[in-house]
Amino acid sequence: MGKAWKFEDNLNTDEIIPARFNITIDERELASKVFCEVRPDFAPGVQPGDVVVASWNFGCGSSREHAPIAIRGSQVRCVIAASYARIFFRNAINIGLPILECPQAAAEINEGDEVEVNLTSGEIFDRTTGRSFQAKPLPEFVLKIAEAGGLVRFLKEHSLEELVE
Amino acid sequence: MGTLVEEIFARRVGHSVEPGEIVLLDVDAIMSHDNTTPLAIKAFREIGKPLRDPDKVVIHFDHAYPAPNLLAAENQQKITRFVREQGIRHFYRRGVCHQVMIEEGFVRPGGILIGADSHTVTYGALGAFSTGLGSSEVGAAWVTGKTWFRVPQTILVRLEGQTQPGVYSKDVMIALAGQLGMDGATYRCLEFAGSYIDELPVHARIVFANMSVEVGAKCGLIAPDQRTVDYLQRETKAQPPFEVFQAINPRYERVIEMDVSTLEPQVACHPDVDHVKPLREVAGLEIDQVYIGTCTNARYEDLEIAAGILRGRQVAPYTRTLVTPASQTIYEKALANGLIQVFLDAGCTVNAPGCGACIGRHGGVLAPGERAFTTMNRNFIGRMGSPDAEIYLGSPATAAATALAGKIADPRPYV
Ligand code: SF4
């Protein structure tokens, strides 16, 4: 269980991690700057297991993987958003950052709510309000990558062809 | 059969495809740059398998080049070592990756290219499917030579009529972004067509493909035609034969129509690309820095338009005006034809080809409270430096007129 940190619509990759900090690929260093401009309280305050709750088009903008890596580095349990920008979605799956798509949860979970998430089933439970939500299931081939823990790990054991079988 | 993207995918896989289907595609080129290559190398090393075809790998130094600080220098050193170790021949330090990809002949109609950069969509203007991916996928593609895609739905954008003097493809694209919104085409392919596109020179078509990602699109395509072929032959090292093809009995998710003939110059205002206003509503806003550059609008023709306005005049005394040609090739041509002299005489600063001020790391970083007018494609908060700076986007002509006035100004009196 963890606390919800709420974010707005169209949160872009520069807002997740400003371009000037992308010079490093060190996960901890990136995590120390994550959301630094839109939520300066996030990096110092986030606890392992907290969840990022965002709205529509989360992660739009650049293709930089630094953005999901910075979020992963903050040790949040997952991101819940109404929808994701295309490249961010792929990147999150590829680097093994759990993400759930659920417009209702994104709209109804409040800042600071205690939230429980079952990543396998996609069930989301807001303890504070007592409401539960069901996230969209991931497409099967995407699940294969996610279950392996990301694309790199998947490719160590498998071939790309297995994705579309 | 199908929309342009379906047609390109079908040619590659050898059977027709439907939106929603997952396809595994061989790619012609895998592009990355100084900003995204280090993570790709990390992924590649972790996978631990050999590079499938070094000749498909194209690496550019453009984002922070020449290195402005020690970290950037170390990154570039690492990449250079990797390039040498792996025998990668396609290694460029000649300007913005996307422009160089086109000039050096990697882009051909019907081609399939991926890149660790969101503006990889740029090549769609020449009838190639190209899109941005993350570094891990680039590292993976180095190993597999392939990548997967879900066949996207297509939105047709039909543009009719001719723009008035002083109004450019950038203005049309900004107007469209305002209409579609920043997630208006997420996961979709945008196909640009109509009499306006038919008559439009290829350098100006590129703006549409380039900015299609600004509304979330997976790709932005224009059917290759005779203009495309002429452009490839004249301006690039791409080797013929070039295919000319069109959508056949396409089914579009929706169709957007716009008559461009009454359009005025447009500005995308701080802080979102879909925060669009006609220029007259923001004219007079004071500007600290004008930046003419980037993969959107720093081609030779763009510089020519700006130089036409700046020739024999002086930029405003408190407005830094930076010109960064998109590539070395463009720089050479601008130099040979006297455009660089025009910029220097007008009081501009001409920077080395590359991304320059676009990502706020060098070549024109903004201070808190400053306001920039640029020919870039996105105006995210903090993009050019301080998060307390503002970025406005418009055409090269508007940028030049703005540089002269020191405030956002209409280019039409000059053209
Ligand atoms: S010029 Fe700007 S938008 Fe284009 S590739 Fe470089 S950083 Fe990206």
* Chain A hits for B139, Cβ within 8 Å: 152
Distance (Å, rounded) from C-alpha B305 to C-alpha B389? 27
Give the CATH number of the domain where residue A149 resides.
3.20.19.10
Instruction: Please tell me which of the candidates B148, B182, B218 has its beta carbon nearest to residue A160.
Output: B148
A1 reaches B (C-beta below 8 A): no
Q: Which residue segment(s) compose the domain that A107 sits in?
A: 2-164
- Output DSSP code: residue B263: P
Instruction: Please tell me which of the candidates B115, B134, B183 has its beta carbon nearest to residue A60.
Output: B183
Answer whether residue A143 shows pLDDT above 90: no
How many angstroms separate the first and last alpha carbons of chain B?
Answer: 43
Answer whether residue B142 shows pLDDT above 80: yes
Mean pLDDT of A136-146: 88
Q: Please tell me the pTM assigned to this model.
A: 0.94
Interface mutation vs chain A, best among B23, B149, B183, most A CBs within 10 Å: B183
Counting the structural domains of chain A, the total is 1
- Domain residue spans in chain B? 21-149, 152-263, 266-414
Q: What is the pLDDT of residues B307-348, one digit of tens each?
A: 999 999 999 999 999 999 999 999 999 999 999 999 999 999
Instruction: Assign domain B266-414 one CATH number from 3.30.499.10, 3.20.20.70, 3.30.470.20, 3.40.50.11260.
Output: 3.30.499.10
Pairing of strands B371-374, A78-81: unpaired
Interface mutation vs chain A, best among B135, B146, B180, B386, most A CBs within 10 Å: B135
Asked if domains B152-263 and B266-414 share a fold, the reply is yes
Count of Cβ atoms closer than 10 Å to residue B212 Cβ: 33
Residue with token string 């709510």: A113
Residue A82 is encoded by which pair of tokens?
């109404």
Q: What is the pLDDT of residues B272-307, one digit of tens each?
A: 999 999 999 999 999 999 999 999 999 999 999 999
The CB of B273 under 6 Å from ligand 1? The reply is no
Q: Tell me, what's the ipTM?
A: 0.90
The region of weakest confidence among A17-26, A122-131, A146-155, B22-31 is: A17-26
Its CATH class, for the domain covering B152-263, is alpha beta
Its CATH class, for the domain covering B21-149, is alpha beta
Distance (Å, rounded) from C-alpha B98 to C-alpha B115? 9
